[in-house]
Structure formats: C-alpha cells, structure tokens
Amino acid sequence: MPCDLILALDVPTRADAAPLLRSLRGSLRWVKIGLQMFTACGPDCVREIADHGFQVFLDLKLHDIPHTVARAVDSLAPLPIGMLTLHTSGGREMMAAARAAQQQAKPDLLLLGVTVLTSMDAAALAGIGVPVTPEAQVARLARLATDAGLRGLVCSPLEVQLLRTQLPADVQLITPGIRSAGEGGGDDQKRTLTPAEAARAGANYIVVGRPILRAKEPATVARAILAEIGSREN
C-alpha cells in the first residue's frame, strides 16, 4: 500500500508560507492548513496554496451540533480542498450529517474523522472521563465514524496496525505524530513513530511539520521522507 507525505504548514503568516511553498513545489503534493493559518489568513490562504499547485488538507476539526457542522461543510465546499477534518467525538449523528452535506456539496472531498489527538495519552483521557487506553478509544471512535459513512480517519501511527485489522480496506488512515529516528521530544506529541514505521503499519498519509519547516533545505528533507516511506510520488 503506497504512503504519501502531507506538510503541516504551521506558520503564522502567508508571508512565512510563500518562500517555503516555492521551495517545495515539485517535491510533495499535499499541504495541511490548520487552525493557526486559517484563523490568521482565512479562505484566501487556501486558494493561494492551491494556486501554487498543491492539494489542500483543511484541518479545522469541526465539532458542534449536527446541523451546524453540516452547514459548515456546505460553507467550506467551494474552497479548493481535498480533505477536511471533524471530531469523531461529536457523535454518529453529527458525522452522518456532515457526510450527507459533503456528498451533496462536494462528492470528491474526503471527510476525515479525528479520533484521539496525538497529544493525549491514557492519563489525559482519564482526565476527561474516558477510563480506557488510547488504542481502545481510537478503535471505538473509528468504528463509529465508519458506521456513519466516513472513509477517512486521523489517528496516531501507533493505532494504524490495529485499525487495519478492524476496518474496511478502503478506509484512508492519516497519521500525525511522526518523528524521525533519533529525534528528541520537546513538543506536545506523545504517541509517535518514524515515517518508515508508520508506512509499514499501513498509513496512507503521514503528516510532518517541524522537521521540514525548520530545515535549511526543506525540499531535501521532504524528498528524503518520501524515499523513506517508499512513496510513488518521490
């Protein structure tokens, strides 16, 4: 199963993003826009990144009552995006409403259900009243999401192999929490694997930010990661 790379474009301004995107054009296909950039720049940054030739993963983690989330999907559908996230903890009705809106407004958009954030471990789950392991909670939410019609999930790389045994083969698994071998901690990611390990486990996409964003030669690092995961795109 081929695995591809998504750049997490976690930079504060469009001015910071522009030279980085120019240097990466032709080295990778996908760019993820998260809350930091979207709240700072709005829909225009999505259009600009798409105009650079990248496919856009919009990571807003929608989470509200079913009607509100469905209408948010309607509002976002005209943007040039290929993936959009919502929280599976919003429940089956919310996810089904989002799926119905997506099918009507943008059939080729991949809705991704976010399971358990990679910043959370068992202690963090217990703190919000979920007395199970991250693996068990991810599996529960993943089944709920696929029952609601979603065909993509975001999980840590540690749960990919488990989900591959429980979910339909066509479900796309996207994994943040990627760290190179020997890379230290110092951030909020708790459940991590290397790019090669995530690819071998069965991830369809890995999301990488800081190792590329902080590199002196971002394109070189991106191509090295693509080679490591055996992508057909490198």
Condensed to tens digits (0 to 9), the pLDDT of residues 20-46 reads 999 999 999 999 999 999 999 999 999
Is the model more confident about 113 or about 230?
113
- Flag whether pLDDT at 182 surpasses 90: no
Query: How many Å apart are CA 126 and CA 134, to the nearest integer?
Result: 10
- Flag whether pLDDT at 181 surpasses 70: no
Mean pLDDT (whole number) for 189-206: 84
- CA angle at 120 for the pair 46 and 90, rounded to the nearest 5°: 60
Mean pLDDT (whole number) for 64-92: 98
Q: What is the pLDDT of residue 60?
A: 98
Is the model more confident about 217 or about 2?
217
Residues annotated as part of the active site: 61
Confidence of residue 234 (pLDDT cuts 50, 70, 90): very low
Confidence of residue 230 (pLDDT cuts 50, 70, 90): confident
Query: What's at 13, amino acid-wise?
Result: T
Mean pLDDT (whole number) for 186-211: 82
Q: What is the pLDDT of residue 188?
A: 55
Q: Which CATH architecture has domain 4-229?
A: Alpha-Beta Barrel (3.20)
- Flag whether pLDDT at 187 surpasses 80: no
Query: What's at 179, amino acid-wise?
Result: R
Confidence of residue 13 (pLDDT cuts 50, 70, 90): confident
Which residues are within 8 A (CB) of 204 and not within 5 positions of it... i.e. 6 or more apart? Answer: 1, 2, 3, 4, 172, 173, 174
All structural domains of the chain with their residue ranges: 4-229
